[in-house]
Amino acid sequence: MIVKKKIYFGISLGLLACFSHPMQAQQDPQYTNYMYNHGNINPAYAGSREGLAVFGLYRTQWVGLEGAPKTATLSVDSPLGRSGLGLGVNFTNDR
């Protein structure tokens, strides 16, 4: 019983330490053509096609203005054999 309480206390203290740090909010990147890149919207989509799928997207808004937003995305996913599982990775650079 005492060991269980110590474990719960340790977990609670660890969670409190994690959430006590200052945090910064971030704005979600703009995905105008999100319908072409299913992996960014729904990660469970990885491996749903029959082979390796590579997708890239680059978007620039307000061209010619200093500090204009730019978003680049690269997604790669593939099924893992005939297991019904898939593996994928998404890279997003938003400035």
Please check whether residue 4 lies inside any domain of the structure.
no
**89 and 52 in contact (C-beta within 8 Å)?**
no
Dihedral sign for Cα atoms in the order 15, 17, 19, 23:
negative
Tens digits of residue pLDDT in 25-62: 666 666 676 777 777 778 888 888 888 989 888 888 88
Please check whether residue 7 lies inside any domain of the structure.
no
Please check whether residue 44 lies inside any domain of the structure.
yes
Domain count, the chain: 1
Please check whether residue 21 lies inside any domain of the structure.
no
Tens digits of residue pLDDT in 5-14: 888 888 888 8
Please check whether residue 1 lies inside any domain of the structure.
no
Q: Which pTM value belongs to this model? A: 0.60
